[in-house]
Amino acid sequence: MYSAMILLRSFHASRSSSLNKMTKTQKANFRMSSAWKVFRSNMKKKASCIDWVTKKPLSKTWNLHHLDLRSEHYKDISDPERFMPLNEDTHEFVHWLYRHWLKDKGILDRLNLVCIGMFAKTHDKQEEK
Ligand SMILES: [Zn+2]
């Protein structure tokens, strides 16, 4: 009985802490707000309409990436340093990379080796012609 009470209490504690976290819908609604739209537009201008990672022009589907991934900070636009404009493909890649990097920092070195290898093999092939 006692352990059931503890389980129930920890269930409620985790539920109430998850109440502070925004759902996907709440995040989507925030991105529809004029506060976000103005902030986003200003950040784009500040970045000279350039993707932070690739240095390519931002496309129509660009995203303003949150560096602070904490859900409870999602709506906090007080610090522009916590955001960066990225094209859609860069944005997806950055999130993909971060998930792997969290578990294994060596992924960046191996990606560099993949690119070096691709360049070397491609260069060798071109020399054979
Ligand atoms: Zn993002």
User: Which pLDDT value is given to residue 10?
Assistant: 53
Q: What is the pLDDT of residue 16?
A: 44
* Ligand 1 centroid, distance to 23 Cα (angstroms): 15
| 12-21, 43-52, 93-102, 117-126: the lowest-pLDDT one | 12-21
Q: What is the pLDDT at residue 21?
A: 87
Give the pLDDT confidence of 81-97 residue by residue, as tens digits.
Answer: 999 999 999 999 999 99
Per-residue pLDDT at 118: 97
User: Is the pTM value of this prediction over 0.75?
Assistant: yes
| Of residues 85, 6, 103, the one with CA closest to residue 48 | 85
Ligand 1 centroid to residue 97 C-alpha, Å:
11
**Which of 16-25, 66-75, 97-106, 114-123 has the lowest average pLDDT?**
16-25
SS (H, E, C) the chain: CHHHHHHHHHHHHHHHHHHCCCCHHHHHHHHCCHHHHHHHHHHHHHCCCECCCCCCECCCCCEEEECCCCHHHCCCCCCHHHEEEECHHHHHHHHHHHHHHHHCCCHHHHHHHHHHHHHHHHHHHHHHC
Distance 8 CA to ligand 1 centre (A): 34
With cut-offs at 50, 70 and 90, classify the pLDDT of residue 18.
low
CA of 107 to the centre of ligand 1 (A): 19
